[in-house]
Structure 1
Amino acid sequence: MPGLSVIIVNYKTPQLLTDCLATFFSGQNQENLEVIVVDNASGDNSQEIVTRAFPRVKWVQMSYNAGFARANNEGIRQSTSDVVLLLNSDTLNQHNAIEQCYRQFITSDYVACGVQLLNTDRSPQISGNFFMKGGLNYLLPLPYLGSFIKWLGNVVKVEKPNVPDSSALVEVDWINGAFLMVKKTAIEKAGLLDEDFFLYAEEAEWCSRLRKTGKLCIYGQYKVIHLQGESANEAFGSSGKGYYNLYDRKGFQIMLSNFLRIRKQFGVGWYLVQLAFYLFAIPVFFIASFFGNAIRLRNPFADFGMAAQFAGNVGRLLGFTPRILSNKPYFYKVL
């Protein structure tokens, strides 16, 4: 049937979810609207809180913490509309952006779209991205080495791998999974999200397949607040925004998922190239932090704890490498 199915994955974030739904239901035209919450075995009172406040919500209960891809796939399977919106629970609908986006999208030739995501201070977040050869943008978060690579890219004028801010329609290669609207006709051709992923990078890999069926875009004139990283940080006891955390448990999940995507989308060669950079970044981190702190008259060993955490995560990645390279189905969940 025509209409929109909004799929929101919940894991122990009932307050974020109710705040999200409050902004959503207050503006959205509810005709031909389906809202599906897929709960990843939160084990709390999320269902009671949410369904009491929003009785129209269809609650789908997973028996385990299935992560982003598997939970969204279950929501897609149970949806009845021609268009699905994968929406993070830490988003806030602004000025009825979701409905306006849907109305423009449904009459377009695009197979998937997003909107301009904003921080709470209304500064822009990266919402649309372009594929870089071999996923080389994953080198940018590397300590010290990443800053040098970014500087070098600016010197040689390498095109940026993302759209930092958009105010109108921009065609992109992949869309931030916090707000990803997709036509079912494209999903039927491209397939569902890859269920090897637990969390992070799955939307980029999925968009690489969706893009083979048609064009993707960002409608920059529509804005949605995204409390970036809040749902994952709250659930997993981590901190920091974006994908520059490579040091704790959440950081290792990010690293592992990124490398899984590299293997699936770009192949074995690029996987090994990136792995070599990550290994090289370990001694760079220790040496650069030592001399950098010493020059600033600080404790030269101050950052060695963080460097050791980074080295430990790279070591764990090495342990997963034979399995990833084999490309056999496996659930890469470490959180």
Structure 2
Amino acid sequence: MKTIGITIISHDSYEDVLAFFSSFINYNSPLGIDFLILETSTNDRMKDLGDYIQSGVSFQVDFIPNNGYAYACNRGINYFGDHDIFVLSNADVVFTSEIVSEIRKNFNRTKYGTIIQKNPGGRVVTFDLYPQYKSLFTEVLKIHRLLNKFTWYNHKYVYIVGAFMIFGNEVIKQNGLFDEEFFLYCEETDYYYRLRNNDNAVIIKNRYVIHNISSSIGKKFNNSKSKLLESSLAYYYKKHEYKPFLDYWKVSRKVNSVYRLISSLFVKKDKEEVCI
């Protein structure tokens, strides 16, 4: 039986991790599955996790404060170096059916690099266009939502958003580790671009895993995250020698800044500003 190592990457997401385990155990036996929880914030609440997770679950918590997502992915891969299958998951993922047997069955072919995540209707993005194929036109039309709604996937133009990534050991050996220059955002974009160029297969399933929208709804996309995304995109463009004719992200940020400025003129001083 193939061994599976699941790395859960958290940033002060204690409740999300509890929901992850609760939903996982509802549908799957934890026997033969090893878990590593990586906490990237300075909050140490995760040390009490063992009080709330049922016995028989094999897990370890490591604290890696102020480290990036790509670093955490690599930490998990190295930790489970002798396992057959690596799973890299966000904390805010929940399970809606059995998944372990599906993973083992689909990884009889070890060259697979895949994700099984799809929320019907595209409410949570699974597929997205590579940055070099994006424009204001594609963003205004919400092309990514259409891709998800109709499960249109073409590995030349589309990558899979990294909320729940699954890789066979052979895929990691062939493609190497994640680029740790990506602190937050674009690390999975860069890795799937590598998979594409090495002809690794990607398979799509239509259920099994979704984002836990209710627990994530309060997580604002604030100005610091916006700057990190802009920085990651700039590095991605440089790495892949792509010069955008019009950087849609910078333009959209300026438009949103003007919008917020105008909105602030009509909002009471004590009202909380919601970042767009």
Give the corresponding residue for 2:94: 92
Residue identity matched to 2:83: S
Tell me which residue corresponds to 1:248: 223
Report if the CA contact (8 A) 1:129-1:162 is conserved.
no
Query: Given that residues 110 and 214 in structure 1 are in contact (C-alpha distance below 8 angstroms), is that contact kept between their aligned partners in structure 2?
Result: no
Q: CA separation in 2, counterparts of 1:100 and 1:228?
A: 25
Q: Secondary structure at the match of 2:47?
A: helix
Output the amino acid matched with 2:237: I
Q: Any idea what SS the aligned residue of 1:24 has?
A: helix
Gaps of 5+ in 2: 267-276
Structure 1 188/229 Cα, relative in aligned 2: closer, same or farther at 3 Å? farther
Structure 2 residue 132 is the aligned partner of structure 1 residue 135: yes
Q: Distance in 2 between matches of 1:63 and 1:280?
A: 34
* CA displacement 1:222-260 (0-9 Å, x = unmatched): 3322035966964xxx24xxxxxxx62222122222222
Structure index of larger Rg: 1
Q: What is aligned with 1:315?
A: none
TM-superposed CA distance for 1:54, in Å, is: 4.5
Name the structure with the higher helix share: 1
Q: Distance in 1 between matches of 2:265 and 2:253?
A: 11
TM-score using structure 1 length: 0.65
- The alpha carbon displacement at 1:302 in A equals 3.5
Is this contact kept in 1: 2:112–2:171, CA < 8 A? yes
Partner of 1:73: 74
Corresponding residue for 1:19?
A: 19
Higher relative contact order (CA 8 A, sep 6+): 2
Query: What are the ranges of 5 or more consecutive residues in structure 1 without an aligned counterpart?
Result: 140-145, 240-246, 291-299, 306-335
- State how many pairs are aligned: 262
SS at match of 1:163: helix
Q: Deviations over 1:279-308 (max 9, x none)?
A: 666777788x69xxxxxxxxx943789xxx
Tell me how large the CA RMSD over aligned residues is.
3.6
- Residue matched to 1:227: 212
In 2 relative to 1, CA 232–258 (structure 1 residues): closer, same or farther, beyond 3 Å? farther
Query: Structure 1 residues 210, 44: closer, same or farther in 2, change over 3 A?
Result: same
Partner in structure 1 of residue 125 of structure 2: 126
Report SS of the residue matched to 1:125: coil
Q: Which residue of 2 aligns with 1:262?
A: 237
- State the secondary structure of the residue aligned to 1:53: coil
Q: Secondary structure at the match of 2:166?
A: strand
Selected match of 2:173 from 188, 195, 200: 188
Seen in structure 2, the aligned counterparts of structure 1 residues 201 and 151 have a Cα distance that, compared at 3 Å, is closer
Deviations 1:100-127 (A, max 9, x none): 43034212465211123328xx764331
Residue equivalent to 1:163: 147
| Kept in 1: contact 2:92–2:211 (CA 8 A) | yes
Cα deviation, residue 153, structure 1: 7.8
Q: Given the two structures, how large is their TM-score scaled by the length of structure 2?
A: 0.77
Structure 1 residues 228 and 253: alpha-carbon distance in aligned structure 2, compared to 1, 3 A threshold? farther
- 1:112–1:232: structure 2 CA closer, same or farther, 3 Å change rule? farther
